[in-house]
Amino acid sequence: MRLVGCSLGWFLGLAALAVAGWELLAPNAAVGYDLRPAGELWYRLAPGSLNLLQAIVERYIWPPLWDPAIVGILQFPALMVFAVPGLVFAGVCVLLRRRRKSGFR
């Protein structure tokens, strides 16, 4: 389980670095540098999968989950959507590793 958490932390951290590079190298001409929402990044990468996820969540899981929850996450800056959970997973991984090395279980 710890391996999954550490790997997920590293993956999200690398994704946050990639998003930061994308935002630095492709500034918005009208505004300059701005933090783009996660939904815009997802739509640029794979618009069909975003529509598919919406249909699956609204039809088979729970319709209110899409509008307040997932839409809210998609409106956050993409850098934060990847960086915050990545830092949390990496921090927990480091704490568990230190605790294991010190002999506490």
pLDDT of residue 28: 67
pLDDT in the model for residue 99: 81
Q: Are 77 and 37 in contact (CB under 8 A)?
A: yes
What pTM did the predictor assign? 0.83
Residues 98 and 92: their CA atoms lie apart, in Å, by 10
| Domain contains 87 | yes
Domain that holds residue 67: 37-76
pLDDT in tens, 54-94: 999 999 999 999 999 999 999 999 999 999 999 999 999 98
Let me know if residue 3 belongs to a domain: no
Tell whether 27 and 55 lie within a shared domain.
Answer: no
If asked whether residues 93 and 71 sit together in one domain, one would say no
Whether 1 is in a domain gets the answer no
Domain assignment present for residue 14? The answer is yes
70 part of a folded domain: yes
Domain count within the chain? 2
